[in-house]
Amino acid sequence: MKNREALRERYLADALPVRLAGLAADLSRVASSARRASGGTAVSALLEQSQLLIEWTAADAPVETAEALVNLQVMLALWQRAWPEAQHSASQRSVLAAQAKQWSDQVLGHAEHVGFKQ
């Protein structure tokens, strides 16, 4: 990932609720990109970035939110590992899209819980 340190600094400059909302937006982009057969590269990059955002956020989050983020990070890592094969299957892309949308909604719920206002 290019400019990882710059991304980290910019991301950590935001308050926790904003960081969680940013993660939710990334997951929403995973869902959108996974639906398209041409979205393979974007999905892979977004899965990697989402894992980094979780790494940089979980330590600052309330215990319940941190636990959910760590569990999500494991699921993202599993998808990233499977993605080179899964991206060629419309049904697998559909499964990831549905899961990523659900994850995005859950993370946004955590953001709202810690003070994010839409």
Please indicate, yes or no, whether the overall pTM of this predicted structure exceeds 0.85: yes
CA nearest to 73, candidates 94, 95, 57, 97: 57
Q: Please give the residue range of the domain that contains residue 14.
A: 4-113
Tell me the helix, strand and coil percentages in the chain, rounded to 5.
Answer: 85, 0, 15
The pLDDT score that the predictor gives to residue 112 is 87
Work out the mean pLDDT of the chain and round it to a whole number.
Answer: 93
Tally of structural domains, the chain: 1
* 86 within domain boundaries: yes
The pLDDT score that the predictor gives to residue 82 is 96
CA nearest to 69, candidates 30, 24, 28: 24
Answer yes or no: are the C-beta atoms of 85 and 37 closer than 8 Å. Answer: no
Q: If pLDDT is split at 50, 70 and 90, which confidence band does 2 have?
A: low
pLDDT at 118 over 80: no
CATH of the domain at 34: 1.20.120
Q: If pLDDT is split at 50, 70 and 90, which confidence band does 117 have?
A: low
* 72 within domain boundaries: yes
Rounded Cα distance between 40 and 87, Å, is: 6
pLDDT at 116 over 60: no
CA nearest to 23, candidates 62, 67, 72: 72
* 98 within domain boundaries: yes
User: Average pLDDT in the 61-75 region?
Assistant: 96
